[in-house]
Every structure is written in structure tokens, then in C-alpha cells.
Amino acid sequence: MAHQEKETSGLEWRITLGDGSSKSLVPETGPISRIWMGLKGLMAGLVLKVLKFFNKAWDIGVDDPRKVIHCLKAGMALTIVSLVYFTRPLYEGVGGNAMWAVMTVVVVFENTVGATISKSLNRVIGTTLAGFLAFGVHWVASQSGQKFEPLIIGASVFLLATAATFSRFIPSVKARFDYGALIFILTFSLVAVSGYRVDKLFALAHQRISTIIIGTCLCILVTMFICPIWAGQELHALICRNMDKLAGSLDGCVEEYFDHNGELKDSDKHPDKKLLGYKCVLNSKTTEESMANFARLEPAHGRFNFKHPWQQYLKIGASMRSCAYSIEALNSCIDSENQAPEFIKKHMSNVCLNVSSNSSCVIKELAKTIKTLKKSSSIDFLVEEMSSAVQDLQNEIKSLSNLLSPAELILPGSKETEKTTSTIHLLEVLPVVILSSLLIDISSRIQDIVKTVEELANVAEFKAEADDKAKQNQANINRIVPSQQNDDQQTMKALERV
């Protein structure tokens, strides 16, 4: 049947109908060809899915080539450890237990140096501790006679497994020794129980620990010396990136709200990546915490000392998240149904945009401070600018009152109500006023970020920026300050230039 169908695909039977049109005759499909078609569809769907999967994988690789490098490193480490198997002297040195080295490499090899060190330490310490304990228990058990031996060993396994499992629920243990506790249980039960059978217990423990040390050393060497990825550097970069995203979102949201260029139509409006960058800040808490945990274990690398205050980065992250919450509220202003009339928006847009651009300037400067590990000479100036922009905004809100009129003015003594219809109503101003107050709130939260970054700069002893740059900034300030005293309007323009 399938064969027949193939033949007909070249030819075509046509029948001419009464009205002059012609219709092609399609051979009726039998059950086999229908199954065939179904299978073909299924296969095509499967192939499409697989292609999509590979496409996605390819994108991930292109986005971050270091991931590919990490995988190559993992493959390399595993191939090297296999050499232990291939080389007879090494194989016999560990009594055929080379398997443990392979296992160690598979389990311990992690993306960042810190994570690898952490897992290695956990594995070595967990194994050693459990090994010693198991020895002790085994000795006690063997002294207490044939009858009690399995009882004592069983009870000790039960008790220690229960205790170690419980310790994994304690947050401080969970954060640092989760894997160690697992390995502790594993080794203890293996050694204590197998000791009942295998007499050469000491040799077994010795072999196991030495193979594990071979594996961990190999992993640490490979992660550390071949294109290393440092948890500390990653955390550092993450915080910088998130700050830039925060600044971008803030700018983007306010611009979108005021539709700055008046060019964007509804269809063009892009709820794009840049605008939603703050969501990354909201979701990066877990990553930051684990990175900071790993970074503590890393040796000095790049521009970071061994005792770099990584914990401070968590505080910076928390203050950024607090800022991101407000940007989330800001973002919901854009989508809100209640919008202020265009002329009010236009009236307020300059002051608001000024606050947002000054605020994002501060964030960007902070990002630069962290990026370069140098105290910024202009941050105080920028913060002051932000505060003065906020002050302007507050004044503008005050002056908005002038445009407002009571909708119904109840005159005391008279029972009539006098309506004025020419001016605007509180409800109309409200959306813009709420946006403004959110901006003011955001700027105060940014000051918290400034504080945490300054703390970091102090604790980590950042150096000041190069002198020439400081002088240049000083010149800028000198140029601007007198104009501030003269004319506010001019200041605004000068600031926009800055």
C-alpha cells in the first residue's frame, strides 16, 4: 500500500465535472498508510522537539561560552582520573579502589572554584570523621562478643544517621555542610557495616581516603588553573550587572510612563528586557547567598584578597532588592488604567525624568565603584544632585496645588455649593503624584544602597579614584555651583549635560 502511494505521487487522476471544473482523484488511504502517516507525523514532531532542544542548548552555549568551557574541563578531569585505571602501578597502589577517585571527580567537580573547594572539603572532612567514628564503633562492637556485634553496629548506624539527617535541617549546617553530612552518613554506614564482613578495614579506609584526596586535588587543580571561574568574581559581576539593570529599569519605566519622545505607539511599546531588568534583582537572592558562601573559601584571585568582605555584598543585594520592590510598584503605574491627562503628564515629565535620570546616575556610579574597586570621587556630588532633583519634584508637587481647585467649595455660612470647573481635580493629578512619591521613595532607598556600598568600600579598603579625575570632577562642581545660586533653570540644563 505504501508502495502504491509512492507510485501515485508522480501521476494524478483528474475527473472533469459537469460545470467544467476538474477535480483530482486522491487514492483512498488504507489503514497501513494511515498508520504510516501518523508515525511520520509523530517522528516529525519528535525531531522538531529534539531540534528545538538542541537549538536552546546552542543558545545557552553561545550566551555564556564559559559554561561550555566548564563542561570541557569536567570531561578532561574525568578522562585524567580514568588514567588511574589505565596505569597499572597506580591502580594497584589503591587496591582496585580507583573507582572512588572517579566518583569523587564526578560528584565534586563544580562550576566555580569556591563550590569545588567547598564540596572537596565537605567530602574529605565528612569521610575522615565518619571513618574514625566507624572505627571506634567497630572496635567496641568487636569487643562485646558475636551476639551484640550486629546490635551495636545497627544501633549506632540508626542513631548517627538520624542525627546527621537532622543536622541537615539546621540552616547554618545546611548552608555549608549539607554535602558533608550526607557523606558522613554514607561513609559511616559503609565502613561500620562492611567492617562486619571485610577484615582489612584499615586498608579499606586508607584506600578510600587516598583515592578521595587524589580526586579532590585533581578537581581543585583543574578548576583553579584552567580558565577558572571564581565564585567571588561571579558574585561581584552579578551585583554590578544587577545594578546596571536596576538603573536601566528605573530609567525605562519613567520614560515609558511619560512616553518621552511621544513617538511610541501602543504596538511599539516594548515591555522589553531592559524594562524588566529589575526582576532579575528580585530573583537573585539565593544565587547571591550561595556565591558568598563559596567565595569565602577561595584564595586571593584577581583583584580580591582572601579576606574580601563577601558578606557585605549580600547587604548590598538586599538593599537593591528593596529598591527593586519599589520599581515593581512603579512598573504597575505604567499599566494602570487611571492615567493623568496628557497636559499634566507633560507638566510633570521634566522634573520626574530629572529625578529618575539622577537616581539612575547614582546607581550607575555605584556600579562603577564596585566594578573598579575604587572609591568614587563624584558619588557625594551625584547624591546631592539626586536630592536636589527630589527637592525640585517635591516643590513641583506643592505647586501642583495651585492648579488644583476644590471640586465643591462649601462656603461656611451658606448652604449653597459653588462649583468651579475650569481647573483640574485631585483625582486627575493623583496618578502622577503617586508616581512622583514612588520616585522619592526610590531615591531614599538608593541612599541605602549608597550606604552599603560605602561600607564595602571602607571594609575592603578601596582606593580613591585617580587624582586627575577627581580634579576634573571638582572643576565640574565649581562650574555648576554658582549657576545654582543664580538660576534654577540653568542648573537643570547643566545637570542634564552632566
Could you say which residues in the range 405-434 bind a second copy, by CB under 8 A?
405-410, 425-427, 430, 433-434
Interface with a second copy, residue 326, by CB under 8 A? yes
Handedness of CA 115, 116, 119, 125 (dihedral sign): negative
Binder among 4, 401, 458, 474 for a second copy (CB under 8 A): 401
Interface with a second copy, residue 129, by CB under 8 A? no
Min separation Cβ 20 and a second copy, Å: 53
The interface with a second copy within residues 37-76 (CB under 8 A) comprises 53, 56-57, 60-61, 67-68, 70-72, 74-76
Nearer to a second copy, 432 or 456 (CB): 432
Interface with a second copy, residue 135, by CB under 8 A? no
* Interaxial angle between packed helices 488-497 and 467-486, expressed in degrees from 0 to 180 and rounded to the nearest 10: 150
Min separation Cβ 346 and a second copy, Å: 19
CB atoms within 10 A of CB 196: 15
- Name, in order, each residue with C-beta under 8 angstroms of 409's C-beta and a sequence gap of 6 or more: 417, 418, 419, 420
Interface with a second copy, residue 438, by CB under 8 A? yes
Alpha-carbon distance of 44 to 129, in angstroms, equals: 55
Min separation Cβ 289 and a second copy, Å: 11
The interface with a second copy within residues 154-193 (CB under 8 A) comprises 154, 157-159, 161-163, 165-167, 169-170, 182, 185-186, 189-190, 193
Report helix, strand and coil shares of the chain as percent, to nearest 5.
Answer: 75, 5, 20
Distance of CA 376 to the CA centre of its chain: 26
Min separation Cβ 265 and a second copy, Å: 25
Nearer to a second copy, 158 or 225 (CB): 158
Alpha-carbon distance of 166 to 164, in angstroms, equals: 5
Alpha-carbon distance of 16 to 22, in angstroms, equals: 4
Nearer to a second copy, 367 or 431 (CB): 431
- Number of residues located near a second copy, criterion CB under 8 A: 80
Instruction: Determine the interface stretch with a second copy among 207-215, 384-392, 436-444, 463-471 (rule: CB under 8 A).
Output: 436-444
Interface with a second copy, residue 398, by CB under 8 A? yes
- Cβ distance 118 to 293 under 8 Å? yes
Single out the residue of 216, 199, 271, 267 nearest to residue 77, CA to CA. Answer: 216
Interface with a second copy, residue 404, by CB under 8 A? yes
Dig out the grid coordinates for 418 from the structure: 459653588
Min separation Cβ 37 and a second copy, Å: 29
